[in-house]
């Protein structure tokens, strides 16, 4: 299935002149200058790798640039964010991170347990990211998907970034989060990790409002819960309405206005919107 999907997207990119595969930092700038949408292949979990580290090399050659360690549950690499017992990074997980470092794949710790995250950062020779995670100290609920201050500090110390996420259940207890509630997470990451270690990971997805109708949204939700990948403490029932003003990718320009209105300088706003993440791309992927 993974190969099928990668092949499908590669053919989509080949057959259209408005899409571009991103495999280097320069590719981001080239896509922007040519008015194209850049696509980054990003695994959410290491199941496609199985127990064969050579698959890291294989998928990297196919264009996969970021690999997230787990998706909420345990796997061969380590513990997921929603497990009852946090066993941390496995021996295979350490080998996996070493291979990612060697071939130039960014290690991602979103959806990953606290212990596994901290041990992964310690094991990595390169920056580690949490591509789409918010702050436990801001949204103080039972959600296991948000990260604590120790994780934010460790990501920053590694040279990586924390991507602020817009999924409503991770922003606040409100079913319709406000822009201010979203920006509270931005402020906290900046205060704890520094302005150079924050990025965006809005996590727009096909089941969100208004992309999916009510029936389709509930179907996606119930299937994912039944598979054991989502828990109700982190993922409330639909509709999933993203923060006010940035409900869909089309409304993203409003975030620039909101950051500037919050008091962030133009330089710092550009860092949040992408320059910090591009810095990580340069360090791990190359120019």
The domain locations on the chain are: 128-204+242-287
Q: Domain 128-204+242-287: give its CATH code.
A: 3.20.20.140
- DSSP H or E stretch at residue 84: none
ω into residue 284 within 30 of 0, thus cis? no
- What whole-number distance in Å separates Cα of residue 223 and Cα of residue 11? 28
Cα atoms in the Cβ-side hemisphere of radius 13 Å centred on 125: 9
pLDDT of residue 278: 98
Q: Report the Cα–Cα distance between both ends of the chain, in Å, rounded.
A: 31
Q: Other C-beta atoms within 10 Å of 52: how many? A: 9
pLDDT of residue 1: 84
Sign, Cα dihedral of 231, 232, 238, 240:
negative
- What whole-number distance in Å separates Cα of residue 99 and Cα of residue 53? 7
pLDDT tens string 25-56: 999 999 999 999 999 999 999 999 999 999 99
pLDDT of residue 15: 98
- What whole-number distance in Å separates Cα of residue 79 and Cα of residue 117? 9
pLDDT of residue 234: 78
DSSP letters for 122-157? HH-SS-EEBSS--BTTTS-SS-SSSB-HHHHHHHHH
Q: Quick check: 152 and 199 in contact, CB under 8 A?
A: no
- What whole-number distance in Å separates Cα of residue 96 and Cα of residue 108? 12
pLDDT tens string 229-246: 998 777 899 999 999 999
Please list the residues that pair with 135 across neighbouring strands. 147
Residues of the chain short of pLDDT 70, as ranges, are none
pLDDT of residue 287: 80
Q: Give the distance, in angstroms, between the CA of residue 57 and the centroid of all CA atoms in the same chain.
A: 21
pLDDT of residue 9: 97
- What whole-number distance in Å separates Cα of residue 26 and Cα of residue 218? 40
- What whole-number distance in Å separates Cα of residue 83 and Cα of residue 184? 27
């Amino acid at each position: 299935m993974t190969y099928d999907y990668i092949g499908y997207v590669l053919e989509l990119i080949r057959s259209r002149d408005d899409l571009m595969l991103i495999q280097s930092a320069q590719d981001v700038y080239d896509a922007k200058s040519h008015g194209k949408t850049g696509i980054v292949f990003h695994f959410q979990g290491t199941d496609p790798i199985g127990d064969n580290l050579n698959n890291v090399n294989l998928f990297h050659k196919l264009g996969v640039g970021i690999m997230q360690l787990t998706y909420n549950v345990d796997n061969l690499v380590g513990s997921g964010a929603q497990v009852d017992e946090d066993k941390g990074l496995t021996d295979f997980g350490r080998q996996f991170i070493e291979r990612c470092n060697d071939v130039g794949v960014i290690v991602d710790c979103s959806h990953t347990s606290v212990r596994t995250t901290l041990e992964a950062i310690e094991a990595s020779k390169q920056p580690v990211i949490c591509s789409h995670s918010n702050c436990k100290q801001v949204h103080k609920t039972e959600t296991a998907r948000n990260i604590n201050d120790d994780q934010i500090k460790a990501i920053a110390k590694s040279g990586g970034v924390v991507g602020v996420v817009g999924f409503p259940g991770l922003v606040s207890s409100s079913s319709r989060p406000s822009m201010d509630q979203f920006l509270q997470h931005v402020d906290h990451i900046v205060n704890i990790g520094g302005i150079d270690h924050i990025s965006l990971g809005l996590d727009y997805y096909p089941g969100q409002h208004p992309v999916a109708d009510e029936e389709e949204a509930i179907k996606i939700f119930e299937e994912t819960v039944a598979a054991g990948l989502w828990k109700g403490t982190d993922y409330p029932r639909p509709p999933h309405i993203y923060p006010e003003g940035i409900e869909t990718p089309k409304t993203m320009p409003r975030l620039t206005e909101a950051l500037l209105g919050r008091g962030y300088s133009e330089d710092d706003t550009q860092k949040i919107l992408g320059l910090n993440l591009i810095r990580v791309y340069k360090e791990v992927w190359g120019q």
